[in-house]
Amino acid sequence: MAHPDHCPVGGEPCQSMCDEPCSWQGSTRGKEREALLAEHVQALDFLAGLHPCLTIDGPPMAVAGRIFDAVQEGRAALQAEIKRQEEALVFLRTAIARSRIAPPPPTA
């Protein structure tokens, strides 16, 4: 473990040229953590905006999991609809091809 008077980056004794003395690292790290937490909260708010029906109450990982699950469910439903539409299109193309080959029905 580094001594309080040692620079955590360089591993050398702090110099007078440092912007902040190494003894201030706890305060600096706290500010960095607060900024990182604010950034994560902003990201979760953005993700929750993609699905307004989801609330963002609870632990961040649980919230992110709910948002991810909702996105995955929506994606699966969309993929199923695309597959259904493609199958219908194949059926219609086959029916059209058969009608062109078959002679026209007799008229009375």
Residue 45 and residue 65 in one domain: no
Domain assignment of residue 104, given as a range:
54-108
Cβ(64)–Cβ(44) below 8 Å: yes
Mean pLDDT of all residues in 37-44: 80
Residue 46 and residue 2 in one domain: yes
Spell out a b/e string for 18-29, using b for 16 or more CB atoms within 10 Å of the CB, else e: eeeebeebeeee
Per residue in 70-80, pLDDT tens?
Answer: 888 989 999 99
Cβ(8)–Cβ(25) below 8 Å: yes
Query: In the chain, how many domains are there?
Result: 2
Residue 68 and residue 107 in one domain: yes
102 versus 41: the higher-pLDDT residue is: 41
Question: Chain centroid to CA 100: how far?
Answer: 49
Residue 58 and residue 38 in one domain: no
Q: Which of 29-38, 52-61, 82-91 has the lowest mean pLDDT?
A: 52-61
- Boundary-marking domain end, from 13, 29, 50: 50
What's the whole-model pTM score? Answer: 0.45
Which residues 6+ apart lie within 8 Å of 57 measured at CB? Answer: 63
Residue 1 pLDDT greater than 50, yes or no: no
34 versus 12: the higher-pLDDT residue is: 34
